[in-house]
């Protein structure tokens, strides 16, 4: 008979893990079972699973709309009771989840009507399927792009049932190129699609055709502005728009220039929850809402509630205070420097540095805005991520940069704790 010690039971291993793991007992039992009762392997599985769960983090990267960190930070609180998602309180009958939020978005964008789906890729897909299935859609070769997550314009067109007609060249597409496509007997052009290239940009010997010129061709123009800037004048800021927004397309201006429909994300420059918005001419928006895909792509009540709060903040001119993204943008550089100096003084670690923050999420590619932060010697990323709550920063050269423009002032105490706890380097 072997004298080798028997491994602890599955239950005993799970109970040992429970001492310092946030996971439920049933999950710890599963980890122990998959590890064959090996305590070290079970702990590795449990720790890996716990780290993979959704949890709040402090975004100190300087990328304000960090796709991997949820893009726009949104504060959403919904009471645990029934909501009038699809209930008409006036008649007591079934209503539409799009009616209220659609009306608010229409006012905000200067459109006749609007609807919401679960992201901007879905918005583009729905528009193409509802308005151009079995017909042609003209797209500039310079805008037939792929953006994050493998979203490719030609593939979305194919899946929607529409047919792609390439127009112009990669670097230059003129009005006459679109006109040629529209007037060609071989084509049946239902839409002209103008695509915001997001994180892709061609510089130098380039030319593109603005919406105002496309609108003269007698074919509905769909402007996928992507990043979700509502108004290029940014009236909610109470001053001139930031210089880094100079070339960013905006919903109100695109519609005023003649676009029949605009599509954009809700969780980028709008600063709301993840969703996609379709706004424009009433007949076209209603055709999208009536398409069978609209039900599959519709958002839930939690998204609508968060988006409603965001839109009302704009309409009440509270966006710079109540939409976290715009609060980060509007933070004075002097205040960021003062916060960084306080962190250095309170922790005795690092030094104040000038930095450049980014809008992020493919918005205004190449644009930066001045910021300030704390520079720490060496690569401290793993140690900062191990803090509770985790702090996500960036490395430049041989230093770790904690950029304060993407950090809410209320989280400075977290940064102080995380920096002070770093081991000597």
The CATH number of the domain holding residue 284 is 3.40.640.10
Q: Does residue 77 lie in a domain region? A: no
Q: Per the domain annotation, does 108 fall within a domain?
A: yes
Q: How confident is residue 148, by pLDDT bands cut at 50, 70 and 90?
A: low
Number of domains in the chain: 3
Tell me the C-alpha to C-alpha distance, in Å, between residue 99 and each of 282, 286, 343.
Answer: 13, 11, 47
Q: Is residue 281 part of a domain?
A: yes
User: How far is the C-alpha of 244 from the C-alpha of 241, rounded, in Å?
Assistant: 8
Structural domain span for residue 105:
87-322
Confirm if 221 and 191 have CB atoms less than 8 A apart: yes
Same domain, 315 and 331: no
In a domain, 11, yes or no: no
Residue at 362 is within a domain: yes
For residues 152 and 282, state if they share a domain: yes
Residue 150 lies in a domain: yes
Tally: H helices and E strands in the chain: 17, 17
92 and 225 fall within a common domain: yes
Could you tell me the pLDDT band of residue 247, with boundaries at 50, 70 and 90? confident
**How far is residue 260's CA from residue 191's CA, in Å, rounded to a whole number?**
10
Peptide bond into 345 cis (omega under 30): no
pLDDT at site 6: 63
Q: Specify the pLDDT at position 366.
A: 77
Same domain, 223 and 122: yes
Residue located via tokens 């306080």: 342
What was the pLDDT predicted at 8? 75
Tell me which residue has tokens 């429909």.
261
Q: Is the pLDDT of residue 323 over 80?
A: yes
Strand segments (E) across 154-229 = 163-167, 189-195, 221-226
Q: Are residues 240 and 315 in the same domain?
A: yes
pLDDT tens digits for 282-319? 999 999 999 999 999 999 999 999 999 999 999 999 99
Q: Examine the domain organization and report whether 34 and 67 are in the same domain.
A: no
Residue in this structure with the two tokens 């392997």, named with its chain if needed: 41
The answer to whether residues 132 and 145 belong to one domain is yes
Does 4 reside within a domain?
A: no
pTM for this entry:
0.91
Report strand pairing: 136-140 vs 163-167: parallel
DSSP, res 337: H
- Rounded to whole angstroms, the Cα distance separating 413 from 384 reads 14
């Amino acid at each position: 008979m072997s004298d080798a010690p028997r491994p602890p039971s599955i239950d005993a291993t799970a109970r040992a893990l429970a001492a310092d793991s946030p996971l439920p007992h049933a999950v710890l039992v599963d980890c122990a079972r998959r590890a064959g009762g090996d305590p070290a392997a079970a702990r590795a599985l449990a720790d890996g699973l716990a780290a993979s769960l959704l949890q709040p983090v402090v975004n100190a990267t300087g990328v304000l709309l960090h796709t991997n960190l949820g893009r726009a930070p949104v504060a959403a609180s919904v009471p645990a009771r029934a909501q009038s998602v699809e209930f008409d309180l006036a008649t007591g009958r079934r209503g539409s989840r799009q009616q209220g939020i659609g009306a608010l978005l229409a006012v905000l964008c200067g459109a006749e009507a609007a609807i919401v789906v679960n992201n901007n890729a879905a918005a583009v897909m729905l528009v193409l399927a509802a308005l151009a299935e079995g017909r042609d859609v003209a797209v500039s070769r310079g805008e037939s792009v792929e953006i994050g997550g493998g979203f490719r314009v030609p593939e979305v067109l194919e899946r929607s049932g529409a047919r792609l007609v390439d127009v112009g060249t990669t670097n230059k597409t003129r009005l006459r190129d679109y006109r040629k496509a529209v007037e060609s007997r071989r084509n049946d052009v239902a839409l002209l699609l103008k695509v915001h290239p997001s994180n892709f940009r061609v510089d130098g010997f380039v030319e593109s055709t603005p919406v105002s010129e496309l609108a003269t061709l007698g074919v509905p123009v769909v402007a996928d502005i992507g990043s979700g800037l509502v108004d290029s004048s940014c009236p909610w800021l109470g001053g001139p728009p930031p210089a880094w927004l100079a070339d960013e397309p905006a919903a109100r201006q695109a519609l005023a220039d003649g676009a029949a429909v605009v599509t954009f994300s809700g969780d980028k420059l709008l600063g709301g929850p993840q969703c996609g918005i379709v706004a424009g001419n009433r007949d076209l928006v209603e055709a999208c809402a009536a398409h069978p895909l609209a039900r599959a792509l519709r958002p839930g009540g939690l998204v609508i509630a968060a988006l409603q709060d965001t839109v009302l903040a704009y309409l009440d001119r509270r966006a710079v205070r109540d939409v976290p993204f715009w609060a980060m943008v509007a933070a004075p550089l002097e205040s960021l420097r003062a916060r960084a100096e306080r962190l250095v003084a309170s922790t005795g670690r690092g030094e104040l540095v000038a930095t450049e923050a980014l809008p992020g999420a493919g918005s205004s590619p190449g644009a930066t805005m001045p910021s300030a932060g704390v520079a720490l010697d060496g690569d401290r990323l793993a140690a900062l991520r191990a803090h509770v709550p985790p702090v996500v920063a960036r490395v430049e050269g041989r230093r770790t940069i904690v950029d304060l423009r993407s950090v809410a002032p209320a989280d400075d105490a977290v940064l102080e704790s995380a920096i002070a706890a770093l081991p000597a380097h």
